Amino acid sequence: MRVLVVEDERILADAIAEWLRDETHAVDTAGDGEAALERLAVNDYDVVVLDRDLPRVHGDDVCRELVASESTARVLMLTAAGDIDDRVAGLSLGADDYLAKPFAFAELSARVQALGRRARPALPPVLRRAGITLDPARREVFRDGRYVPLSNKEFAVLAELLRGDGAVVSSEQLLEKAWDENADPFTGVVRLTVLKLRRKLGDPPVVLTVPGAGYRIP
């Protein structure tokens, strides 16, 4: 998934981003509400982890803007205040979930994963196609019963291709969902990752290239 972490405490923002990247998500960060709105205007996120007390533009206003834009992104709001009134206020703004600080990273990750499932059409918990089985929760991949060890990026690309359900998935779509905003679209990183993925999945080749369009798993 593509996740935006909006948190003005840099150490915490970096820690959240690192944890989520280890979970195979593509993560961007923003240190204030203004920067968050700029990123939301140009990137398609599945989940936004949003600190409520932000400089420049308050987190409440970021949430309002996001809801008003009719974005499909789901919002997990973070705050140092965890009483009932604060939770109700955050949810009434349009946030989908609420987590009080301090929190366990494992719980935050689980909530992000749950919100990500709601940001897209419902999918089975385990993805299967062409002899491939991908379990997002366990982060395991098998082909015809053989375990296939994949890097985080290879896993994310394969998940997007399986979610395509046989349709063509463009390089731009893969770049959007599997890499963060620092990825250079002209480096050929998607093509190289697909080549590595094909090699690890073995013969016969299952990831097909559709010239001028992208990739698909038939």
* Range in 10-14, 19-23, 148-152, 182-186 the model is least confident about: 182-186
Predicted confidence (pLDDT) per residue in 50-73, tens digit:
998 899 999 999 999 988 888 888
What are φ and ψ of residue 180, in 5° steps?
-95, -175
pTM for the model: 0.66
Nearest CA-CA partner of 181 in 6, 26, 20, 16: 26
Q: Is 137 exposed, middle or buried (0-12, 13-18, 19+ CB in 10 A)?
A: exposed
Region 105-133: mean pLDDT is 82
Give the Å distances, CA to CA, from 59 to 12, 45, 78.
Answer: 16, 17, 9
Handedness of CA 199, 203, 205, 207 (dihedral sign): negative
What are φ and ψ of residue 140, in 5° steps?
-125, 145
Nearest CA-CA partner of 78 in 15, 23, 136, 138: 15
- What confidence score (pLDDT) does residue 11 get? 94
Helix (H) or strand (E) holding 49: strand 47-51
> 3-state DSSP call for residue 58?
coil
Q: Give the pLDDT band of residue 172 (cuts 50, 70, 90).
A: confident
